[in-house]
């Protein structure tokens, strides 16, 4: 007797992808499914009543003039209290990114030639720099300030101020032109730059240049690393909550001139290979009149600080090497610490942005691991259901690779980050805005799209901002990407042989 035919495999007979989609739709719309039958039942009962019965029902309620006035007053009072107490909506009207002139580009050949000349007595340090650049993911068009092009570099205070003026004023001029904003209409000014903190401050430099009002609320943030741009967004949001009908301008940059490391310590040579010129100016507003023209609406800002742990505090540290050269030392534990900070951050932001279906799956996974210990596989929430676009700080190839792997993102989701790193390098806190510019230049930003910005910084910090697109954004006719967007994305090899 021949054996019975085998049963079809469940995974082949049922498309699990559609089962999961059905489950997600059911859970995410559970209230709708519960309310629909109740609403239909009430409507059916109401339609069965005639006009006379409805009139008798109204009269039976015994509403007199006093009751109607008191009820109306109560409704108006509750509505007014709600409108006055709810948080103000913060709009991102527009932003502008600094585009360095072509004369400041640093192709690989030039970078290595300068390295050989400056570190002529340290061939191992030169070889180490070459290996880093080969694997960095940077392209041939990244730029460094004029003082670092000299042999040897001339990191003077005057040169640093010139770089700051070039970057900040260029971004500010472009922003004012794009938004038709008058300098006198700026109510709040925040400038963040980690490593260059002159006196007078950079924010005072902007006030002086544009002759801003004497009662402007200005702030200068320093020493807060590559995530300082989102800290500035958070500060601006808090200020706009208590100052109605106001505009806030944020300038995010990193001035490289005084921070070129000329020693031979490997942990301190890394920033030389990755950091490049860049800056951005952003206009935020809480004015209702800006709601139509604004590009985005701020939804959440989540900040995570791991500075209480010594290892995290010291993993990005400005210090002197044994020969007295000042530089930024990067610990070998940096990626591990960044992963822990990211885990804390997404644990906080997950319940705010994830649909109910993903939150339930994560909860079931957590309970399963508690009961069955490590035998139960951990469930990684699918953040692709919460966001259409991801802007991961272009701190380096390893940072982007790690987040793509941990968040299970596709190549397209991290395309903006990789291409920004390739075209502009690590521009510190401003890199997120070059990435937003890339997505817009590709024509991918649609009304209702959600954007997740993720940045890491010294201290150690991981900060996130969530934006919702206010209107479909047309491809820009200007900006840092306009002359090169047609040739992106480009293939970036694992190793570029120099």
Per DSSP, the three-state class of 347 is: helix
The one catalytic residue in 97, 143, 193, 226 is 226
Q: Which of 193, 272, 389, 413 is catalytic?
A: 389
Please calculate the CA angle 145-147-151 and round it to the nearest 5 degrees.
125
Among residues 149, 243, 300, 305, which one is catalytic?
305
Q: Give the torsion sign (CA, 444, 445, 447, 448).
A: positive
- Which residues does residue 256 pair with via DSSP β-bridges, in sequence order? none
Task: Tell me how far apart the alpha carbons of residues 104 and 112 are, in angstroms, rounded to a whole number.
Answer: 15
Chain centroid to CA 484: how far?
Answer: 23
Tokens of 18: 């559609």
C-alpha span between 384 and 364 (Å, rounded): 20
114 is catalytic: no
- Strands 450-457 and 279-285, how do they pair? unpaired
What distance in Å separates the CA atoms of residue 147 and residue 257, rounded to the nearest whole number?
6
The answer to whether 486 touches 122, Cβ cutoff 8 Å, is no
In what helix (H) or strand (E) does residue 42 lie, and over which residues does it extend? helix 30-48
Encoded tokens for 384: 């692709």
Helix (H, G, I), strand (E, B) or coil at 36: helix
Residue 480 is given by DSSP the state: T
Angle at 394 between CA 143 and CA 192, to 5 degrees: 75
- Tell the residue number behind the tokens 């209290």, with chain if given: 81
Among residues 426, 462, 463, 469, which one is catalytic? 426
**426 annotated active-site:** yes
CA angle 90, 180, 89 (to 5 degrees): 10
Task: Identify whether 260 is a catalytic site residue.
Answer: no
Q: Helix H segments across 180-297?
A: 202-210, 228-242, 266-274
Known active-site residue 422: yes
Give the separation between CA 278 and CA 42, rounded to whole angstroms.
Answer: 61
- Is residue 393 flagged as an active site residue? yes
Integer-rounded Cα Rg, in Å, for the chain is 28
- As a whole number of angstroms, the distance between CA 333 and CA 315 comes to 7
**DSSP E strands: which ranges in 31-117?**
91-97
Among 393, 463, 469, 470, the one annotated catalytic: 393
Q: What does DSSP assign to residue 397?
A: H
Residue of 97, 114, 247, 422 with catalytic role? 422
Active site residue 149: no
Calculate the alpha carbon distances from 498 to 135, 267, 418 in Å. Answer: 11, 22, 20
Residue 358 to residue 415: CA distance in whole angstroms: 25
Who's near 414: CB < 8 A, 6+ residues apart?
390, 392, 400, 403, 404
Active site positions, annotated: 226, 305, 389, 393, 422, 426
């Amino acid at each position: 007797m021949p054996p019975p035919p085998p049963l079809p495999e469940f995974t082949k007979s049922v498309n699990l992808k559609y089962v999961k989609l059905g489950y997600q739709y059911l859970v995410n719309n559970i209230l709708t499914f519960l309310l629909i039958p109740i609403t239909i039942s009430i409507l059916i009962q109401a339609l069965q009543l005639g006009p006379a019965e409805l009139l008798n029902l109204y009269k039976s309620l015994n509403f007199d003039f006093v009751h109607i006035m008191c009820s109306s007053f109560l409704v108006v009072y509750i509505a007014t209290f709600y409108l006055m107490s709810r948080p103000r909506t913060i709009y991102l009207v527009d932003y502008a990114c600094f585009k360095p002139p072509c004369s400041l580009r640093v192709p690989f050949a030039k970078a290595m030639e300068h390295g050989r000349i400056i570190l002529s007595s340290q061939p191992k340090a030169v070889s180490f720099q070459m290996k880093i650049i080969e694997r960095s993911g940077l392209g041939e068009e990244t730029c460094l300030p004029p003082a670092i092009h000299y042999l040897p570099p001339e990191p003077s205070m005057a040169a640093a101020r010139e770089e700051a003026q070039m970057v900040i004023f260029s971004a500010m001029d472009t922003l004012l032109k794009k938004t038709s904003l008058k300098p006198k209409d700026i109510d709040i000014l925040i400038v963040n730059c980690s490593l260059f903190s002159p006196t007078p401050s950079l924010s005072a430099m902007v006030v002086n240049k544009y002759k801003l009002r004497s009662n402007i609320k200005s702030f200068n943030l320093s020493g807060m690393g590559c995530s300082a741009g989102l800290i500035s967004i958070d500060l601006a949001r808090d200020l706009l909550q208590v100052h109605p009908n106001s505009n806030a301008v944020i300038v995010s940059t990193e001035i490289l001139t005084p921070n070129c490391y000329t020693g031979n310590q490997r942990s301190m040579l890394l920033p030389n290979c990755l950091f490049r010129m860049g800056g951005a100016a952003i206009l935020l507003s809480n004015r209702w009149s800006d709601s139509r023209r604004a590009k985005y609406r701020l939804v959440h800002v989540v900040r995570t600080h791991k500075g209480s742990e010594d290892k995290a505090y010291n993993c990005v540290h400005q210090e002197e090497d044994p020969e007295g050269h000042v530089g930024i030392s990067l610990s070998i534990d940096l990626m591990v610490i960044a992963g822990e900070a990211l885990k804390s951050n997404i644990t906080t932001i997950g319940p705010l942005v994830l649909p109910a279906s993903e939150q339930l799956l994560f909860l079931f996974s957590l309970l399963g691991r508690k009961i069955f210990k490590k035998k139960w596989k951990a469930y990684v929430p699918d953040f692709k259901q919460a966001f259409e676009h991801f802007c991961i700080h272009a701190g380096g190839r390893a940072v982007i690779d790690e987040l793509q792997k941990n968040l299970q993102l596709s190549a397209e989701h991290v395309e903006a980050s990789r291409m920004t790193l390739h075209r502009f390098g690590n521009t510190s806190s401003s890199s997120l805005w070059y990435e937003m510019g890339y997505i817009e230049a590709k024509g991918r930003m649609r009304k209702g799209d959600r954007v997740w910005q993720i940045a890491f910084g010294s201290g150690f910090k991981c900060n996130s901002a969530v934006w919702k697109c206010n209107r479909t954004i047309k491809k820009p006719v200007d900006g840092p990407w306009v002359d090169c967007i047609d040739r992106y994305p480009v293939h970036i090899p694992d190793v570029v042989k120099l």
